[in-house]
Amino acid sequence: MAKTAWITGASSGLGLYTARALVAAGYNTVAGARSFQGLEGEGEQGYRLPLDVTDAGSVKAFCQRALQVSGPPDVLVNCAGVLVLGACEEYQPQELRQVMDVVFFGMAAMAKEVLPLMRAKGAGTIVNFSSINGLLATPMQGAYSAGKHAVEGYSEALAMEIKPHGIHVMLVEPGDHQGGQARYRATSQGVTDIYRDALVRVSGVIARDERTGLSPEKLALRVVRALDRRTPPFRLRVASLGQHMAVILHDLLPGGLFLRLLSLYYRVPGGARAPREEKA
């Protein structure tokens, strides 16, 4: 019998590729995205339904309709995301809320709706898309890094709480991948001359890394293969060798030295100086 998967953020980027892979693997897939408004019905991502994860009413409506379409899910994939580039000092309050609403609070809202359905079945898997930015921050991506760090902490706690009910959590931690869309990558409206040059430099590095990034199709296949295992791994990190090394060095090197090296990589002016650390 085919398993059922519900997925958010399925209209573009890694969400789109993951939805396609779920369909290809035979999952009865219900795909949600804001851009599916007025497009309910079968598509390449499965059965499409409108979904705004930042709106409680939309989340409830999606889950109720998805339940009618497919029955309760065996898998929930939280893939909705948004990125606002800018300096931490200059983010507008609404920009910080926008990122956190989509990346973190939307994920938590979906899990809250789905968990009773999985608990009634005594089984299920919740897949939360994090990022390498959930393990280490990068300049001009402070809001996104904060959101993904929140996803990491929430998922660790959730995994311990729901395991006794037969439900698993899997964190997917992608590095740079091709196929992202500019409409989900905004620039802060508060940028001033103080940080403008640094933002331009960092944006150039990000664009280069995404152009030469990994295949989103391969990432999606790895997610589906992990779901097919009897016990999915808690962490599925899909990144370049350099990004794997960055995560390791983040934990091994003195904090100031690591920030200096990362600043140099992103061509942030002043990156040659490491901040002093207070000794306890």
Based on the residue annotation, tell me whether 148 is a catalytic residue of this protein. Answer: yes
In angstroms, the CA 279 to CA 157 distance is 30
Q: Which of 91, 144, 195, 266 is catalytic?
A: 144
Pick the catalytic residue from 11, 58, 145, 263: 11
Which is catalytic among the residues 27, 47, 131, 148? 148
d(CA 7, CA 79): 7
Q: How far apart are CA 154 and CA 156, in angstroms?
A: 6
Give the pair of three-digit tokens for residue 160. 């311990």
Supply φ then ψ for residue 83, to 5 degrees: -125, 130
| 240 noted as active-site residue | no
Tell me, yes or no, if 144 is annotated catalytic. Answer: yes
Residue 11 annotated among the catalytic residues of the structure? yes
Catalytic residue from among 27, 47, 70, 130: 130
DSSP result, the chain: ---EEEESSTTSHHHHHHHHHHHHTT-EEEEEEGGGTT--EEETTEEEEE--TT-HHHHHHHHHHHHHHH-S-SEEEE----EEEB-GGG--HHHHHHHHIIIIIHHHHHHHHHHHHHHHHT-EEEEEE--GGGTS--TTBHHHHHHHHHHHHHHHHHHHHHGGGTEEEEEEEE--BS---GGGEEE-TT--TTTHHHHHHHHHHHHHHHHT-B-HHHHHHHHHHHHTSSS--SEEEE--HHHHHHHHHHHHS-HHHHHHHHHHHTT-TTTTSPPP----
Which one-letter amino acid corresponds to residue 199?
L
Residues annotated catalytic, as ranges: 11, 130, 144, 148
